[in-house]
Structure 1
Amino acid sequence: MILINLLPHREAARKRRKEAFQVTMVMAAVLGALIAGAVYMWYQNRIESQQERNAFLQREIKTLEDQIKEIASIEDEIAALRARQKAVEDLQADRNLPVYLLKELAAQLPDGIYVTGMKQTNQVVELQGMAQSNERVSELLRNLSGNTPWFAKPELLEIVAANATLSPKDVRRVASFKMRFQLMRSSDLKKDAESQDKAGTAQIKKGAANGK
């Protein structure tokens, strides 16, 4: 006996394939959504973790900025204290400067020169006087420059011919001059002496090394 299947088997097979394809697509969509959700959650956790680290760093930076401001304030106070200390030390050291000024100036004035005026501004002394000749003024400049450590950087500001009246019948031609120089402090002299000692020591060591 021959059996003949009269049902539309091709349509049924096509329907089964279509249903399987739809199931596969749904499962793929669900799997894709799960993967996308997992990736989103992972990135979200990373973002939240980074934000927490950023907030922590911001708090630490704020703390460091406060500490830096405090340190800067302390440094300013230290600098102000040092400035006041130096001012007190300078005043202490400058008490005897007028004595040194007058003593050294009297020692360095050549014969034939007399002082008519003197003004001191800080460490700069401006001197006015009369001299028998220009050579006397040049000698005074040399003396101030090389004969005493208390004076430095002498500079001639002005020299002009003038008349000096010694008596009604005795009028002489003289040189009226104006100069300035720097009056050194004891601390400056001490620093210069220390620098010269160091330079001399270095020179001796260099000579000894060359001798070897």
Structure 2
Amino acid sequence: MILINLLPHREAAKKRRKEAFQVTMVMAALIGAAIAGGVYWWFQNQIENQQARNAFLTREIKQLDEQIKEIATIESEIAALRARQKAVEDLQADRNLPVHLLTELVAQMPDGIYITSVKQVDQTVEMHGMAQSQERVSELLRNISGNTPWFAKPELLEIVAANATLSPKDVRRVASFKMRFRLMRASDLKKEADAAEKAEKAEKAKLPKGNANGK
């Protein structure tokens, strides 16, 4: 009978398996380290790219802020120019206001009234006068309110009974009054006319076609 000792062979096989396992573990560790390094590098690259984009956006935002400031400056300059232009136009228009004031006062003044003083501040006119009766003052208010576009918002501030001395022997009982109204510029009249025209067109647009044509 032949006996074969297998113990050294088994030990050698076990040793080889152990060494193979260790090699596998080392390789797995190296591969894991390489994957981790690759992932870290990828994330680091993404972070650097994002930081570069953020820096680019920051520079662009600063440039836009400067442009916005320039635009705001330009807009303020344009607004100032428009304000100066309007002031010049108002001054040119106001040169004719005293003419319209005197012309319309003569046209709208009823008999039995005479003016003692007229004071104009900007577009507000304050007028003092004497009238034969309160009815004459009421007639003047109606004329100013409805007969001329150059006067607006008339207000009777005061009316009292007074004596008017025409001569040493002629003293008459009169109504002393004080009123205030607004003197309109030509630009104001144009705005009112445009607004009235728009309102009229809008009203006609609401009506049926038959009614708009008068049928």
The interval holding the TM-score normalised by the smaller chain is: 0.7 to 0.9
Percentage of pairs with the same residue? 77
Q: In the TM superposition, what is the alpha-carbon distance from 1:194 to its structure 2 partner? A: 3.6
Partner residue in 2 for 1:46: 46
Matches of 1:147 and 1:62, distance apart in 2? 61
Matches of 1:205 and 1:21, distance apart in 2? 94
Matches of 1:188 and 1:176, distance apart in 2? 32
Letter in 2 for 1:138: S
Partner residue in 2 for 1:62: 62
Q: In the TM superposition, what is the alpha-carbon distance from 1:200 to its structure 2 partner? A: 4.5
Matches of 1:73 and 1:37, distance apart in 2? 53
Matches of 1:137 and 1:15, distance apart in 2? 131
Partner residue in 1 for 2:111: 111
Q: In the TM superposition, what is the alpha-carbon distance from 1:192 to its structure 2 partner? A: 2.8
Structure 2 residue matching 1:117: 3-state secondary structure: strand
Unaligned segments of structure 2, at least 5 residues: none
Q: In the TM superposition, what is the alpha-carbon distance from 1:198 to its structure 2 partner? A: 4.4
Matches of 2:107 and 2:41, distance apart in 1? 94
List per-residue Cα deviations over 1:113-141 (Å, max 9, x = no partner).
22222211111111122223322222111
Map residues 46-195 of structure 1 onto 2, 5 A cutoff.
Answer: 46-195=46-195
Structure 2 residue matching 1:111: 3-state secondary structure: coil
Map residues 28-43 of structure 1 onto 2, 5 A cutoff.
Answer: 28-43=28-43
TM-score by length of 2: 0.83
Structure 2 residue matching 1:103: 3-state secondary structure: helix
List per-residue Cα deviations over 1:27-64 (Å, max 9, x = no partner).
22222211111111111111111111111112222222
Letter in 2 for 1:69: K
Map residues 7-18 of structure 1 onto 2, 5 A cutoff.
Answer: 7=7, 15-18=15-18
Matches of 1:67 and 1:173, distance apart in 2? 74
Q: In the TM superposition, what is the alpha-carbon distance from 1:168 to its structure 2 partner? A: 4.1
Q: Does 42-51 or 89-98 show the bigger shift?
A: 89-98
List per-residue Cα deviations over 1:123-176 (Å, max 9, x = no partner).
111112222332222211111111011111112222333333334444443333
Q: Does 87-96 or 19-28 show the bigger shift?
A: 19-28
How many equivalent pairs are there?
Answer: 212
Matches of 1:116 and 1:15, distance apart in 2? 133
